[in-house]
């Protein structure tokens, strides 16, 4: 029943967007009572986040060429493709949007979407630290925001501006800094 | 009448959030017909963006100490305070959220909120370039995303983590880079 509910919520999210994910429709589509859904999830959007995580988790593997600049460009490029050319884009943007007015959705999104991705990104950056490519003094979670956070902001405001040229500049500036040479 | 509508939409936005800004309520509160509102704005949220811009524009002046690191820390600190301790936070997050499912809102938000702020931020960064503090080779709009975009993403997911320590690390890493010294 839990799997059926997750599957139904994810289908609705990807096909019609976050507004279509209601207790009513998930219950009907999954053949599960609304009472049961209420017991398991605080809100319909929380089912959607859980379901989205299940389908998107396999995409989280990051490439590892041995060179951090190459890997970051490739990983950000894949992420931007996913956000702009697949149903994942509107789904994820819809979840972030829903999280702004519903703290249960925000917490579900943070636990099931943000943290798993931060952990995988953090591991890749720590690997680059151990290889001597990144400074060991930096906060890798802050670096994730400098890269992925920058992309999220642009994708949510001016998605057409997130081009390959943009990503090249982003990775180059993040790695090498922007201060004038002394 | 236009000012009355803007004032009404802004009050609703700041007091009750984006969901309260409807043509119905703006019309009633401002004493303007819904037909007139429809003529001027494509959506109720677009009135809210216009109105919010009018009240928030005076806050856009940036400090100029002569040192870019000091200024960036101060400016990001003020921005985070505004987003976490004032009614502007839920209002702006609500507008970004509404923009994800309504392209008219997104365009209004980009034109009236994002671009004016990017222009002012860009001017400050170009001033730092002309003073020899920032490299002249960088894309200042990308740097804005590395700093403000990073903050927006954290504020929309885990706002409690945007501390002074976080901002110090963000500014330091953006200015000096994260690559290991060669």
pLDDT of residue B59: 65
pLDDT of residue A36: 94
pLDDT digits (tens, 9 = 90+) for B50-63: 888 777 766 666 67
* Distance (Å) from the alpha carbon of A68 to chain B's nearest alpha carbon: 9
- Give the integer Cα–Cα distance in Å for B60 and B168: 21
- Give the integer Cα–Cα distance in Å for A74 and A64: 10
Task: Count interface pairs A-B at CB distance under 8 A.
Answer: 156
pLDDT of residue B127: 93
pLDDT of residue B44: 86
The answer to whether B27 and B33 are in contact (CB under 8 A) is: yes
Band (B173; pLDDT cuts 50, 70, 90): very high
pLDDT of residue A61: 67
- Give the integer Cα–Cα distance in Å for A178 and A39: 51
Residue in this structure with the two tokens 């519903």, named with its chain if needed: A102
Residue in this structure with the two tokens 């190459």, named with its chain if needed: A70
Q: Any residues with CB less than 8 A from the CB of B60 and at least 6 apart, and which?
A: B116, B117, B120
Whether A160 has its CB under 8 Å from any CB of chain B: the answer is no
The pTM of the whole model exceeds 0.90: no
Band (A8; pLDDT cuts 50, 70, 90): very high
Higher local confidence (pLDDT), A75 or B55: A75
Q: How many CB atoms lie within 10 A of CB A7?
A: 16
Q: Quick check: A78 pLDDT over 70?
A: yes
Give the ipTM of the model, two decimals please.
0.88
CB contact under 8 A, B158 and A132: no
A168: Cα within 13 Å, side-chain hemisphere: 3
Q: Quick check: A23 pLDDT over 80?
A: yes
Band (A159; pLDDT cuts 50, 70, 90): very high
- Give the integer Cα–Cα distance in Å for A99 and B97: 9
Q: Quick check: A128 pLDDT over 90?
A: yes
Mean pLDDT computed over A10-22 = 90
**Nearest Cα to Cα of residue A54 among A101, A106, A13:** A13
Band (B71; pLDDT cuts 50, 70, 90): very high
Q: Quick check: A130 pLDDT over 80?
A: yes
- Give the integer Cα–Cα distance in Å for A6 and B92: 31
Instruction: Name the residue facing B158 among A97, A110, A153 (closest C-beta).
Output: A110
User: Tokens standing for B41?
Assistant: 């704005």
Instruction: Among A76, A157, A172, pick the best mutation site for testing chain B contact (most B Cβ within 10 A).
Output: A157
pLDDT of residue B60: 62
Q: Quick check: B116 pLDDT over 90?
A: no
Q: Quick check: B68 pLDDT over 70?
A: yes
Helices B23-30 and B2-16 sit at what angle, rounded to 10 degrees?
A: 120
Separation of CA A13 from chain center: 15
Most confident region among A46-55, B87-96, B162-171 by mean pLDDT: B162-171
* Distance (Å) from the alpha carbon of A7 to chain B's nearest alpha carbon: 23
Q: What residues 70-99 of chain A have any CB closer than 8 A to a CB of chain B?
A: 90, 93-94, 96-99
pLDDT digits (tens, 9 = 90+) for A24-70: 999 999 999 999 999 998 888 888 888 887 777 666 666 788 899 99
Q: Which residues of B are less than 8 Å from A142 in CB distance?
A: 150, 166, 169-170, 173
Structural domains in chain B, CATH included, are 2-51 (1.10.10.60), 56-176 (1.10.357.10)
On average, the pLDDT of chain B sits at 91
Mean pLDDT computed over B36-47 = 88
Q: Quick check: A18 pLDDT over 90?
A: no
pLDDT digits (tens, 9 = 90+) for B102-114: 898 899 899 988 9
């Amino acid at each position: 029943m839990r799997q059926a509910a997750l599957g139904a919520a994810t289908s609705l999210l990807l096909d019609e967007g976050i507004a279509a994910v209601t207790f009513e429709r998930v219950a009907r589509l999954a053949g599960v009572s609304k009472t049961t859904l209420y017991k398991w999830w605080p809100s319909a959007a929380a089912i959607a986040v859980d379901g989205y995580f299940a389908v998107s988790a396999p995409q989280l593997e990051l490439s590892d060429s041995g060179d951090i600049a190459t890997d970051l460009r490739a990983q950000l490029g894949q992420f931007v493709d996913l956000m702009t050319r697949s149903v994942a884009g509107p789904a994820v943007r819809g979840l972030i949007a829903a999280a702004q007015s519903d703290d249960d959705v925000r917490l579900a999104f943070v636990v099931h979407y943000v943290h798993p991705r931060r952990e995988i990104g953090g591991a890749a950056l720590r690997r680059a630290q151990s290889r001597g490519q990144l400074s060991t003094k930096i906060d890798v979670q802050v670096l994730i925001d400098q890269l992925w956070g920058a992309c999220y902001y642009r994708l949510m405001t001016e998605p057409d501006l997130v081009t390959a040229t943009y990503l090249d500049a982003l990775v180059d500036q993040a790695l090498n800094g922007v201060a004038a040479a002394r």
